[in-house]
Amino acid sequence: MTMKVVAITGASRGIGAATAREFAAAGWRVALMARSETDIAKIADDLGDAAMALRCDVADYTSVQAALQTVVARWGRLDALINNAGVIDPICRISEADPKDWGRAIDINLKGVLHGLRAALPQMKAQGGGTIITVSSGAAHNPLEGWSSYCSSKAGAAMLTRAAHLEEAANGLRIMGMSPGTVATEMQVKIKASGINPVSQLDPAVHIPADWPAKCLLWMCGPGGDDWLGREVSLRDEAIRRAIGVI
């Protein structure tokens, strides 16, 4: 039986790292993609021969394309792509935003998803199918003070994911989003330190562990995701939590 292959962006920590471990434990081959080569190399070493680390900047299409070409060259296929890489910075009011910093968030959070889609689609279509999941956010649907770049880029990524489903579902591709809610990651540490908007005031105890969205992403790559194609799964939904076995 051929082992399935997943590529995960932003895999050096948080949801991405947890997702790499979850898929590896389920018997998948795992390609970890991130700018931090040292961090992903350590995780790949821990996971063994079924994992590889690929330095990749999702803001650079050539970098993403080269990484996915390396995955296919080594393992012959690409069954799933998890568009997870994202940044919260800059946290500031619009009146104080540096346009260059603001645009960098768009390059990563929105254009990074485009780059993943554009690089993965030809291979998945040629092999007859595949799953692409965008890690979304409640911020894609609700404005928050100080988060204009994050909210705008996540909203764009959510719509881009829907557009990709519209265009590619007939070609056997399974494309959808997953909104995890607040997760105990380094991003929440930055948010807490900013002191801006209600999210920064949350008790850290309410954040879910990173392995919950990881389990959800794996579940979505199987039959569980079939009812969610072109839509967004929310981990705030108790029915989803029960389905993935975390409550």
**Which residues carry out catalysis?**
150
Please state, in angstroms and rounded to a whole number, the distance separating the CA atoms of residues 76 and 158: 29
What are the Cα distances from residue 125, in Å, to 43, 54, 58, 196? 30, 23, 21, 43
Q: What share of the chain is helix, strand, coil (3-state, %, to 5)?
A: 55, 15, 30
Phi-psi region of 43 (alpha: psi -120 to 50; beta: other; left: phi over 0): alpha
Residue with tokens 């999702």: 58
Residue with tokens 């995780």: 43
The contacts found for 48-54 with CB under 8 angstroms, 24 or more apart, are 48/24, 50/3, 50/24, 51/20, 51/24
Say whether the peptide bond before residue 90 is cis (omega within 30 degrees of 0). yes
Residue 205 in 3-state DSSP?
A: helix
* Dihedrals phi, psi of 30, to nearest 5 degrees: -125, 125
Q: What is the CA radius of gyration of the chain?
A: 17
Residue 43 in 3-state DSSP?
A: helix
